[in-house]
Structure 1
Amino acid sequence: MLRTSIHRFCVAALTLACASAQANYLLSSQGVSFEFNQLDADSFTFKITNADQATGNWSTDTNLGFLGFKDLGPLTGITGATVTNILPSSSSVWSYSAQELNGNGCLGGTSGGICLDANPDIPLASVMMFQIDLLGTTLAIDPAVGPHLKIGFTYWVPDKGDPTKNNFVPGHYEIGGDLLSLNMQFSACTTSDCGGGGGSGSGGGGGGGNVPEPASLALAGLALASAVAASRRRNRG
């Protein structure tokens, strides 16, 4: 019974280790860090750190309005994409488009990727995380190229003109600083695994102890299984 339990533990730990070994991609610009983690064949998480402390021409932006991803693979048969707001908690609903993200939103020509529009735009926070699930297709990212990221940070533009005349433009969000458009770089570990970039994260704060990685757990389990097997052989001898 003990041997069977240890075997099951090892299998589970190895499975978790393999899952955690999915490709991770990183990018930093104007004081903001971005992290792309593939979860499985058709979903990934996207994390933004320090967006509320951005520098350069992002420093006056207050919200996240648009996300664009390309070089995810051919996306044959894609029918849409769903976005789950993990951090911060938000009731904003994302709409999917196959159009190119440009200075006016998801209004360009066919991009070969996906464009996501938040409604309403989400206030920037120190840590923002989203899970994106593709519908009807799978990811096929080339690690040598990495996913191409586009970001549209926005700011609020108040009402303009006279409400009684045709020149009235109601308040709305507009893309403010540069429209980021860069390929993310492959990384063997996430920012939290590498020991950096986790100080402003949510949950445990900055002073928690290190959590063993799944691969370490798997090795520990295998070592325990080997020790038990060796002990059994000695007892039979």
Structure 2
Amino acid sequence: MSSILKRIVAPVALAACLGMAGNANAGVLEFQGVTFTTSFMANVLRLEIDAANPTGDWSTATTLGMLGIKDVGSFSSVSLTAAPPGGLSWTINNNELSANGCVNGANPMKICAFGSHLALTDDMVFEFTFTGGTQDFTSPHLKVGMYEGDSPDKVGSLMSLNVPAIPEPETYGMLLAGLALVGALARKRAS
């Protein structure tokens, strides 16, 4: 391999591997017996909620009535393209989810979805499709409004946490391969 080619290949390989290491496509958060799993592909953010057995101050909750998402980059619009039964009729606006609902702090980079209360179960899947802007779904910030049936009063905490990203095993493999290539080229150069 020529000296010029080595100088180009090594940094490109390292940059590609390091870039991929930061692009995990899944995250998991557990809070009061409920598991939130996010994944994404292109401009679609998928949120699965496993909530059949909430605990803590959500232990009496039987329904979900509000869902807030922020820290997802920029976008010009968003639509709910998959949801549990009854969820596709939910309204989406650009307000911050608070104890009063989706009514405060309008911001074009936040979404708040709400509507008729949905029964808490496992495998509740929501998909949000974003258009325009530049999305970053690696660690979205979630808030949720839990209820007892159709009561207008929320049960317990809104939560308010980022879903931490979990790198896939392939990401680690590519990172290690890139580092091995850089190490091999460095050893060859030293000899």
TM-score by length of 2: 0.69
- Contact 1:121 1:173 (8 Å CA) reproduced: no
> 1:83, 1:64 → 2: CA distance?
18
Q: 1:52, CA displacement in angstroms? A: 2.2
1:38 aligns with 2:7: no
Q: Using the aligned pairs only, state the percent identity.
A: 31
The equivalent residue for 1:185 is 164
- Contact 2:94 2:110 (8 Å CA) reproduced: yes
> 1:152, 1:138 → 2: CA distance?
27
> 2:77, 2:47 → 1: CA distance?
20
Q: Any gaps of 5 or more consecutive residues in structure 1?
A: 1-17, 158-171, 195-212, 214-237
TM-score by length of 1: 0.56
Q: Give 3-state SS (helix, strand or coil) of 2:156's partner.
A: coil
> 2:53, 2:85 → 1: CA distance?
19
- Contact 1:65 1:154 (8 Å CA) reproduced: yes
User: Which of the residues 85, 95, 105 maps onto 1:99?
Assistant: 95
Q: What is the identity, as a one-letter code, of the residue corresponding to 2:55?
A: T
Q: Any gaps of 5 or more consecutive residues in structure 2?
A: 1-19, 171-191
Q: Give 3-state SS (helix, strand or coil) of 2:52's partner.
A: helix
1:71 aligns with 2:71: yes
Q: Give 3-state SS (helix, strand or coil) of 1:152's partner.
A: strand
> 1:38, 1:186 → 2: CA distance?
11
User: Which of the residues 117, 127, 148 maps onto 2:141?
Assistant: 148
> 1:81, 1:135 → 2: CA distance?
9
> 2:165, 2:87 → 1: CA distance?
32
Q: 1:91 to 1:113 in 2, by over 3 A?
A: closer
User: Which structure ranks higher in relative contact order (CA pairs < 8 Å, sequence separation ≥ 6)?
Assistant: 2
1:110 aligns with 2:106: yes
- Contact 1:83 1:94 (8 Å CA) reproduced: no
Q: Give 3-state SS (helix, strand or coil) of 1:187's partner.
A: coil
Show structure 1 runs of 4+ deviating over 3 A. 88-92, 135-138
The equivalent residue for 1:28 is 30
Q: Give 3-state SS (helix, strand or coil) of 2:57's partner.
A: helix
Tell me the matched-pair count: 148
Q: 1:127, CA displacement in angstroms? A: 2.0
Q: Give 3-state SS (helix, strand or coil) of 1:57's partner.
A: helix
